Amino acid sequence: MDKKNIEKLKSLNNPYVEQRVKEAIDLCQPDKITVITDNLEEIQYVRELALKNKEEQKLKLPGHTVHFDGYYDQGRDKANTRYLLSHQVDWGIKVNSINKEEGLAEIKEYFQDSMKGKEMLVRFFSLGPVNSDFSIPALQITDSAYVAHSEDLLYRSNYEGFKALKGSNQFFYFLHSAGRLNNYVSIDIDKRRIYIDLEENCVYSVNNQYAGNSIGLKKLAFRLAIHKAHQEGWLAEHMFIMGVHGKENRTTYFTGAFPSACGKTSTAMLPGQTIIGDDIAFLRKVDGMVKAVNMEKGIFGIIADVNEEEDPIIYRVLTTPREIIFSNILVKDGVPYWLGMGKELPEEGINYSGKWYTGKKDKEGNIINPAHKNARYTVRIAELDNVDPEAENPEGVPIDAFLYGGRDSDTSLPIVESLTWEHGVFLGAIVESETTAATLGKQGVRKHNPMANLDFISIPFAQYLENHLSFKEGLYKIPKIFATNYFLKDEQGNFMTPKAYNLLWVLWAEGRANQDYSAIETPIGFIPEFEDLKKISKNSLNREYSQKEYLTHFSLRIDKYLEKMERMSNIFEQVNIPHIIKDELEKQTFRLKRAKEKYQQGVISPLNFQKKDNN
């Protein structure tokens, strides 16, 4: 390290930072070390380095670049993402872990000399707005300029914030190396490892480039944050934060947890609404209300099916000049293409498999898609037309409602409000999702994914749920909780609700959070009245919402719900969960069975449930 970079580290007056950097240098043996401060010229250096290293290539529009991960490095690697544990922990759920001493020895062997011939970048960020009580400083060391460039779009630069630590070790630390490269992609995929040390608040990631594995500040830091939140009495959640705009210029802030590819980003980007964040929220109780900030300042979004008709805001951003990193899409003549974009795709080009042509197969004989189903875009939220004015408020925004959404083709209603806070936590705890391309493995399998957070929970599951149940304590304003499902299908396999109706459900929830509408009580919670949906649809969507649609959408598929309760019962029998959640399961099962006995039908019309709730 040269004198200039040494001085940048010394200026922090933090021996813990210096120790981490020295350990990384001794282990990885980089040819060059560059410390990046908050200086814009230094940040620009990182972007240019990504191009120089050919980790990214320029596209036709100014500011657009493309990055390709290796063919077999296209999603989060669950199998090789493990917690380093120095003692046994009763998680209550299946969690990948490895003995800390053994795991450190293994991953340090893979890190050994991994940066020879490469440049080490030392970065300083803030998880959450700078100078906020919500936020956590983060130190990232990587040999990937693509990773560092992505983090410049996704997080706040925070070199000066590390000075304010006054020598404390209260920061998260991340060490990443892409490992050996061939054609600019990681080649030792069999040695891909992502190890998380909760005791030391650090993450080690090696032999990978896909952002979900390599960008420590994203889902890897999220695991550290959940653990820290548990210790300190707040919540770190897999949630967007959005402003929903109701009557008389009223803004009601929602958080929402949806498993990957279940409509999370598209909900946060609903037309006419404003966005603060699309992925991870930090929630604290402040003066008797829930407040939240976005851990990030950018979006690492799935690009498949983003098109001009259904996602006009995102589509415009993706097709106009600005700083964006595309990953694992198809490129032809400098133009990016992706699946479901509403345009005919070229028959040849460059993609994540190299030179691509229609009909190309991999070595296993599988047809290679023109773009990957998990292809992504990385962009600052500030680039969006609908960014909320409070997006960078260090004090956070007040939260009046939680949304929990899954991917369910035959059971759950489009929108339902919980009967109580405890019932709402239960609704979050029973979220199910059909698997997609966002993780490695089979698609189309229905999986239980409580709070859309199962992959990231870093404390015992029962305690995680207890933290949610007790979070209402001390609140004078308790948020309402809703469950949504955009993916109901008819017998022909067609979706029952157009994407435009996602706004209809959310606007109804906003009205309920502000006591605008009454509701119908059913065994699974409160549902909308037809006349309210009809009025909202006409006024806000300029669409006629028919009673026929209403009956299709909100008829209670009682047999399917009972099947779901049975699935949940089987799952809950195998894990340690709070008795309140078990009680809610038993009560909902009882209500469903009582309704079935009363109406003697497998599907019950919402018109049969007339008891109203006016709150």
340-357 tens-digit pLDDT: 999 999 999 999 999 999
H, E, C per residue of 556-574: EEHHHHHHHHHHHHHHHHC
Between the CA of residue 196 and those of 113, 175, 262, what are the distances in Å?
21, 11, 27
Band the pLDDT of 442: cuts 50, 70, 90.
low
Residue 426 · residue 416 · CB < 8 Å: no
| In the predicted structure, residue 483 carries a pLDDT above the cut 70 | yes
Residue 143 · residue 32 · CB < 8 Å: no
Of the listed ranges 247-251, 279-283, 578-582, 592-596, the one predicted with least confidence:
247-251
Percentage of the chain lying above the pLDDT 90 cut: 87
Identity of the residue numbered 257: A
- Residue 10 host element (H or E): helix 3-10
Angle between helices 40-52 and 145-154 (to 10 degrees): 140
| pLDDT recorded at residue 130 | 96
348: its two tokens: 């040849």
| In the predicted structure, residue 438 carries a pLDDT above the cut 60 | no
Percentage of the chain lying above the pLDDT 70 cut: 97
- Residue 298 host element (H or E): strand 298-302
The sign of the torsion formed by the CA atoms of 496, 502, 505, 507 equals negative
| pLDDT recorded at residue 437 | 52
Query: What does the alpha-carbon distance between residue 573 and residue 151 come to, in Å, rounded to a whole number?
Result: 41
Q: Which of 1, 66, 221, 262 is catalytic?
A: 262
76 secondary structure, DSSP code: B
Query: What does the alpha-carbon distance between residue 478 and residue 473 come to, in Å, rounded to a whole number?
Result: 9
Residue 155 · residue 277 · CB < 8 Å: no
CA count, 13 A, side-chain hemisphere, 612:
8
- Residue 276 host element (H or E): strand 274-277
Burial class of residue 613 (count of CB atoms within 10 Å of its CB; 0-12, 13-18, 19+)? middle
Residue 266 · residue 305 · CB < 8 Å: no
| In the predicted structure, residue 436 carries a pLDDT above the cut 90 | no
**Of 305 and 37, more confident:** 37
* Residues sharing a CB contact under 8 Å with residue 123, sequence separation 6 or more, in sequence order: 36, 139, 140, 141, 142, 148, 151
| pLDDT recorded at residue 369 | 97
User: Stretch 8-33: mean pLDDT, rounded?
Assistant: 98
| pLDDT recorded at residue 563 | 94
| In the predicted structure, residue 492 carries a pLDDT above the cut 60 | yes
Q: Which of 233, 224, 227 is nearest to 470 (CA)?
A: 233
Provide the 3-class DSSP secondary structure of residue 245.
strand
User: Stretch 323-352: mean pLDDT, rounded?
Assistant: 97
H, E, C per residue of 463-525: HHHHHHHHHHCCCCCCCEEEEEECCCECCCCCECCCCCHHHHHHHHHHHHHCCCCCEEEECCE
| In the predicted structure, residue 441 carries a pLDDT above the cut 60 | no
User: Stretch 456-467: mean pLDDT, rounded?
Assistant: 96
Domains of the chain from N-terminus onward:
3-55+76-232 (3.40.449.10), 237-297+391-610 (3.90.228.20), 300-383 (2.170.8.10)
Put simply, whether the predicted model's pTM sits higher than 0.85 gets the answer yes
Identity of the residue numbered 265: T
| pLDDT recorded at residue 614 | 62
Residue 132: count other Cβ atoms within 10 Å of its Cβ: 19
Residue 518 · residue 528 · CB < 8 Å: no
Query: What does the alpha-carbon distance between residue 202 and residue 520 come to, in Å, rounded to a whole number?
Result: 48
| pLDDT recorded at residue 446 | 78
For 567-586, write each residue's pLDDT tens digit.
Answer: 999 999 988 899 999 999 99
Query: What does the alpha-carbon distance between residue 64 and residue 606 come to, in Å, rounded to a whole number?
Result: 49
**Of 247 and 594, more confident:** 594
Known catalytic residue at 202: no
Band the pLDDT of 155: cuts 50, 70, 90.
very high
Q: What is the mean pLDDT of the chain?
A: 94
Query: What does the alpha-carbon distance between residue 181 and residue 70 come to, in Å, rounded to a whole number?
Result: 10
Residue 170 · residue 199 · CB < 8 Å: no
Residue 250: count other Cβ atoms within 10 Å of its Cβ: 14
Identity of the residue numbered 403: L
Query: What does the alpha-carbon distance between residue 592 and residue 357 come to, in Å, rounded to a whole number?
Result: 53
Band the pLDDT of 143: cuts 50, 70, 90.
very high
For 371-428, write each residue's pLDDT tens digit.
Answer: 999 999 999 999 999 999 999 999 999 999 999 999 888 899 999 999 999 999 999 9
Strand pairing report for 64-67 and 324-327: parallel
Identity of the residue numbered 190: D
User: Stretch 57-61: mean pLDDT, rounded?
Assistant: 98
| In the predicted structure, residue 142 carries a pLDDT above the cut 70 | yes
User: Stretch 94-99: mean pLDDT, rounded?
Assistant: 92
303: its two tokens: 């690009």
Query: What does the alpha-carbon distance between residue 205 and residue 615 come to, in Å, rounded to a whole number?
Result: 49
| In the predicted structure, residue 269 carries a pLDDT above the cut 90 | no
| In the predicted structure, residue 77 carries a pLDDT above the cut 70 | yes
202: its two tokens: 């650090």
User: Stretch 421-447: mean pLDDT, rounded?
Assistant: 78
Query: What does the alpha-carbon distance between residue 99 and residue 85 come to, in Å, rounded to a whole number?
Result: 5
* Residues sharing a CB contact under 8 Å with residue 109, sequence separation 6 or more, in sequence order: none
Of the listed ranges 32-36, 134-138, 381-385, 497-501, the one predicted with least confidence:
497-501
180: its two tokens: 């050996």
| In the predicted structure, residue 524 carries a pLDDT above the cut 60 | yes
Query: What does the alpha-carbon distance between residue 517 and residue 539 come to, in Å, rounded to a whole number?
Result: 15
| In the predicted structure, residue 226 carries a pLDDT above the cut 80 | yes
| pLDDT recorded at residue 443 | 54
| In the predicted structure, residue 430 carries a pLDDT above the cut 90 | yes
Identity of the residue numbered 297: K
Q: Which of 83, 317, 97, 113 is nearest to 200 (CA)?
A: 83
Q: Which of 380, 341, 337 is nearest to 356 (CA)?
A: 337
The sign of the torsion formed by the CA atoms of 25, 30, 138, 10 equals positive
Provide the 3-class DSSP secondary structure of residue 93.
coil
Query: What does the alpha-carbon distance between residue 497 and residue 552 come to, in Å, rounded to a whole number?
Result: 10
Q: Nearest-5° angle of CA 380, CA 384, CA 388?
A: 100
In angstroms and rounded to an integer, the radius of gyration of the C-alpha atoms of the chain is 24
